[in-house]
Each structure stands twice: as C-alpha cells, then as structure tokens.
C-alpha cells in the first residue's frame, strides 16, 4: 500500500509505503483507518492517523480482493461477498456471507442491494436487506466477455467488460430483474470505473492505443432504451475464449481464440498494473480456431509469482481482455 500526499493535486508525492504479505488490490478508508484487501491473507486494518507512518492494527481472516464501505459496513469480495460490521472501526466483525461462482470483482452499493462484477459469470445482484443473511437474487450473463467492474447511479448500473462495445447500461429499477438496455460508445477494454457528480470515469485501453488512459463520460442524459441484440454481439469477427485451467498452477494455461478472416493477431499476458509480462503471439493467422499456451513465465523465461494476470488479444478493429489467476 502506498500513501500519497495530494494536498497539491498537480504534484502528488509518495509519503511512504507499507508492505503486506499478499497482493494489495483494494483499499477503502473511514476516519483514521484504512482497510486493505490483501487477497488470501485477508483484510488489514491500518491506522493512518499519522499518514507518514501507517500501522497495521488488526487483520480479519477473510480472503478478499476488493472492498467498498457504505455507512458502518464494509462489503468485501473474495470467494464470494462478505459483509463486515465497522461499528468498532479498529475491529471489523463478520456479519453475513454469500458464495459466488468464479472470481468476482469490486462491489457497488445502492440501497439494500450489492452489485458485484462476476468476471466470466456476469453481473451478480445481492439483496443485503438483512446483512446477516445476504441473498443472491439475480445474475445477468456476461455476453462474450468478463465483467470487470460495476458502478450504479439511480436506476441504472454501468457494467464494464473486455469487449469493444463500451460499458453496458443496465436497468436495475427492479434489482431482481436487471435488463441490458443499451451500451455506451467507448470501444476498448474497460478495467475500472468510478462515478462522481454524474460523471463516469473509466480506466481503459482503446483499440490501437497503448498504454491505458482515462475517459470521462457525462451520465446526465437519459439512458437509451434501444436494446442490444446478443446475436449482434456474437457476430464479431474475433472471439477470445476462456483460458483453461483457470486458476492455473505450475502447469500451463491454454488460451483459445477464433478468427472469421485472416489477420495479424497479438496475444499478450499483462500484470495487474497493465504492464506486459509475455508476448505469446504477434503474427499473421489464418481464418479459423487457434490457441496459445502460457507456461507461467515472462519474456525472460522467469517464472512469475502467483497472482492475478490478464491475457489480451488484439486484431484489426478488435481488442479483448480476460482474467487469468496463477497459483503456486
């Protein structure tokens, strides 16, 4: 975890960093405490009353990658969703838990409902009216890509994925029956988002543009009521399939893809920061199905540490990214 002084927004300065055993992937703050989702080691409670000298004061044994705080509760996502009571900020207490398939991503809270980006499984909607017994009430399939993040504003959820259609707009006026009603024309791979004052900010890599950049979209206008035809999505010229096995351990992972016409294909492995780890393909490929294998090594032949990685396929007019987990 890094602590950054932003008192001068035009010249942010790193004050200090705090090493933790796992992968510091999600963070949220309340008062003088920061809550760090550190993967399998659990949730770390850190006293930042002196920002230059953060101190770990507690650990909650709940594997988690992402965290959102709403009121006096924390919603952490790991191998499912766990709700924690923060009445005593220094000592979070587990309340309820609901198992979720796959490898879910960050949660968004709206009223009594929690929306979780479910990776390849799609969008999960959880009723947390009773925080001691949250219930999964709906799952919205993920079309052809993994859902990497979700943000909610009023009756609309905006789900981000690795496709070329931009964020999907979902009507959640009835949370138990979410319905895709349109898409936002921002082609590229969207990794994370944040809504502030009616503006959706996206971290994104657009086709043909590297590295990632920031996109801001005004949400003041009414969402389109024109539906998306799933068959239209399925007709794209390139398809990036699901890697297997996933998670992968010391063995290799196979990544399938298909082309409906001849073209140059680039397939890369990226780390969580979007840095290139390995180039698996960069060549002209014929029409049809293909596959590549990653043996868990970088371009220097070194075995990479366990953690979350991405595999990214690029072809003319197309870019898609999916998640791949490496374990020891």
Concatenate the DSSP letters of all residues of 225-253 into one string. Answer: -PPP-HHHHHT-SEEE---BSSSB-SS-E
End-to-end Cα separation, the chain, in angstroms: 23
Q: Write the CATH number for 268.
A: 2.60.40.4070
Domain containing residue 284: 237-326
Token reading at 274? 């979007």
Q: What is the pLDDT of residue 212?
A: 61
pLDDT-wise least confident of 72-76, 134-138, 275-279, 305-309: 305-309
Q: Are residues 173 and 256 in the same domain?
A: no
The rounded percent of the chain whose pLDDT value lies above 90 is 46
> What single-letter DSSP state applies at residue 205?
E
pLDDT of residue 209: 47
Helix then strand then coil, % of the chain, to nearest 5: 0, 55, 45
26: which residues sit within 8 A by CB, 6+ positions away?
36, 37, 64, 65, 66, 67, 76, 106
pLDDT tier, 197 (very low <50, low <70, confident <90, very high otherwise): low
Instruction: Indicate the range of 28-37, 172-181, 210-219 predicted with least confidence.
Output: 210-219
- Does 284 share its domain with 221? no
How far is 280 from 293, CA to CA, in rounded Å? 8
* Judgement on whether residues 251 and 225 belong to the same structural domain of the protein: no
Residue with tokens 């968004």: 108
Rounded Cα–Cα distance for residues 72 and 70 (Å): 6
Looking at residue 292, the DSSP 8-state letter turns out to be E
> pLDDT tens digits, residue range 227-275?
333 333 334 456 777 787 878 877 788 898 888 778 889 999 999 888 8
Domain end, chosen from 184, 208, 232, is at 232
Q: What is the DSSP string of 159-175?
A: EEESSSS-PEEEE-SST
Q: Pick left, alpha or beta for residue 128 (phi over 0 → left; psi -120 to 50 → alpha; otherwise beta).
A: alpha
Query: Residues 199-212: what's their mean pLDDT?
Result: 62
User: Per mean pLDDT, which range of 7-11, 216-220, 302-306 is the poorest?
Assistant: 216-220
The verdict on 15 and 30 lying in the same domain is yes
132 and 243 fall within a common domain? no
Specify the number of domains making up the chain. 2
Token pair recorded at residue 62: 């709940």
Alpha-carbon distance of 60 to 298, in angstroms, equals 33
Which of 19-33, 119-133, 135-149, 212-226 bottoms out in mean pLDDT, i.e. has the lowest?
A: 212-226
Cβ neighbours of residue 302 under 8 Å, at least 6 residues apart?
none
Q: How far apart are CA 250 and CA 239, in angstroms?
A: 27
Q: Which of 183, 208, 232 is the last residue of a domain?
A: 232
**Last-in-domain residue among 232, 261, 276:** 232
User: What counts of helices (H) and strands (E) characterise the chain?
Assistant: 1, 28
**Mean of all residue pLDDT scores within the chain:** 83
Tens of pLDDT along 45-72?
999 999 999 999 999 999 999 999 998 9
Please give the Cα distance from 117 to 123 (Å, whole number): 5
Q: Are residues 200 and 267 in the same domain?
A: no
Looking at the fold, whether 97 and 221 belong to one and the same domain comes out as: yes
Q: Which residue has the higher pLDDT, 126 or 233?
A: 126
The yes-or-no verdict on residue 90 having pLDDT over 90 is yes
Q: What are phi and psi of 304, to 5 degrees?
A: -85, 155
The domain spanning residue 182 has which CATH number?
2.130.10.10
Is residue 228 located within the same domain as residue 241? Answer: no
Query: Does one domain contain both 59 and 181?
Result: yes
Q: Please tell me the predicted confidence (pLDDT) of residue 185.
A: 61
**Rounded CA separation 294/269 (Å):** 8
| 116/182 same-domain check | yes
Residue 114, both tokens: 């929690």
Are residue 246 and residue 224 in the same domain, yes or no?
Answer: no
Angle value at C-alpha 3, between 71 and 195, nearest 5 degrees: 45
Question: Contact at 8 Å (CB) between 205 and 318?
Answer: no
Task: Clarify whether residues 92 and 14 are in a common domain.
Answer: yes
Cβ contact 170:181 at 8 Å: yes
């Amino acid at each position: 975890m890094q602590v950054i002084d932003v008192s001068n927004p035009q010249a942010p300065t790193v004050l200090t960093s705090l090493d933790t055993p796992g992968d510091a992937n999600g963070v949220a703050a309340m008062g003088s405490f920061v809550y760090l989702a550190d993967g399998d080691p659990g949730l770390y409670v850190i006293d930042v009353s002196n920002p230059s000298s953060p101190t770990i004061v507690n650990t909650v044994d709940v594997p988690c990658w992402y965290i959102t705080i709403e009121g006096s509760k924390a919603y952490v996502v790991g191998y499912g969703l766990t709700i924690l009571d923060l009445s005593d900020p220094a000592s979070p207490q587990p309340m309820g838990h609901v198992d979720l398939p796959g490898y879910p991503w960050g949660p968004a809270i709206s009223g009594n409902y929690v929306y979780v980006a479910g990776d390849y499984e799609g969008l999960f909607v959880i009723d947390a009216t009773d925080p001691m017994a949250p219930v999964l009430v709906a799952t919205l399939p993920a079309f052809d890509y993994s859902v990497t993040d979700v943000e909610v504003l009023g009756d609309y959820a905006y789900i981000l994925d690795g496709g070329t259609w931009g964020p999907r707009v979902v009507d959640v006026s009835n949370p138990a029956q979410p319905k895709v009603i349109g898409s936002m024309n921002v082609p590229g791979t969207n990794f994370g988002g944040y809504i502030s004052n009616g503006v959706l900010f996206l971290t994104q890599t657009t086709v043909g543009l590297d590295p990632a950049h920031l996109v801001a979209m005004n949400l003041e206008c009414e969402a389109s009521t024109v539906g998306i035809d799933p068959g239209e999505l399925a007709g794209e010229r390139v398809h990036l399939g699901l890697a297997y096995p996933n998670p992968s351990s010391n063995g290799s992972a196979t990544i399938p893809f298909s082309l409906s016409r001849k073209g140059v294909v680039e397939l890369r492995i990226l780390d969580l920061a979007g840095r290139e780890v390995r180039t698996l393909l960069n060549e002209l490929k014929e029409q049809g199905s293909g596959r590549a294998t990653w043996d868990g090594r970088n371009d220097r032949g070194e075995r990479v540490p366990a953690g979350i990685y991405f595999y990214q396929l690029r072809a003319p007019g197309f870019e898609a990214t999916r998640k791949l987990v490496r374990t020891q």
